[in-house]
Amino acid sequence: MRLGVLGGTFDPVHIGHLILAEAAREELALDRLLFVPAGQPWRKAGRDIATAADRLAMLEFAVSDNPAFEVCTIEVEREGPSYTVETLSEIKARSLPAQIFFIVGEDALEDMPNWKEPERIAELAEIVAAPRPGRPSPHETGRITLLRGMPIIGVSATAVRERVRDGRPIRYLVPPAVEDYIRRRQLYISS
């Protein structure tokens, strides 16, 4: 089995995440793709983020119509900070004999040397880099595969949160069910 893993805060999940996931699924011939929301994102310590329950609910709404997509709660259920190396180790143990593809944006790829046990991450999964708007493409190496068919989408969770906070529309930036959830729960209203 070919298994994609797309981790992140997903605060909130938006169309860029979904387009990335579908492009990776298609280009890498993935059987399944796991969305893994961070429980306690160590790189975002001190920043207000939506609760894990809210982020999980939004992800469930966003992926519910794609049978190849699944929300994985490993990091949300784990106590303490979320580290990719621990998550991939656990997924690999649960999913043998799967070939695992860890999908990251170029910004995360640049920061990966600062992550916990980056060498082990590369042993556990093939690293797949996706382009980000306004960034030079990383170089493909033996350890990094580039998503070549990925359209560059200029949507970010930060921009979605700012638009909500400013009372501006987010239609077409997030799936309709996610937009409805954000409005009903009054997420991102205050900074």
DSSP secondary structure string, the chain? -EEEEEEE--TT--HHHHHHHHHHHHHTT-SEEEEEE-SSBGGGTTS----HHHHHHHHHHHHTT-TTEEE--HHHHSSS-B-HHHHHHHHHHHSTT-EEEEEEEHHHHHHGGGSSSHHHHHHHSEEEEE--TTSPPPPPBTTEEE-SSPPP----HHHHHHHHHTT---BTTB-HHHHHHHHHHTTTS--
For residue 62, pLDDT over 70 is answered with yes
Structural domains in the chain?
2-154 (3.40.50.620)
**Rounded distance between C-alpha atoms, residue 49 and residue 10, angstroms:** 10
Q: What is the pLDDT averaged over residues 71-97?
A: 92
Question: How do residues 90-103 score in pLDDT, each as one tens digit?
Answer: 999 998 889 999 99
Instruction: Give this prediction's pTM.
Output: 0.91
For residue 14, pLDDT over 80 is answered with yes
**Rounded distance between C-alpha atoms, residue 112 and residue 7, angstroms:** 13
Question: How do residues 132-165 score in pLDDT, each as one tens digit?
Answer: 766 555 555 567 888 987 888 889 999 999 999 9
Type of residue at 98: A
Question: How do residues 120-134 score in pLDDT, each as one tens digit?
Answer: 999 999 999 988 766
Q: What is the pLDDT averaged over residues 63-87?
A: 94
Contact 105, 150 (CB under 8 A): no
Residues facing residue 41 across a β-bridge: 82
Q: Is the peptide bond preceding residue 175 cis, with omega within 30 degrees of 0?
A: no
What's the full length of the chain, in residues? Answer: 191
Q: Compare 60 and 47 and report the one with higher pLDDT.
A: 60
- Among 4-13, 58-67, 99-108, the range scoring the smallest mean pLDDT is 99-108
Contact 60, 42 (CB under 8 A): no
Give Cβ neighbours of residue 169 (< 8 Å, ≥ 6 apart): 163
Contact 35, 5 (CB under 8 A): no
For residue 60, pLDDT over 70 is answered with yes
Provide the pLDDT for residue 104.
93
If pLDDT is split at 50, 70 and 90, which confidence band does 80 have? confident
Average pLDDT along the chain: 90
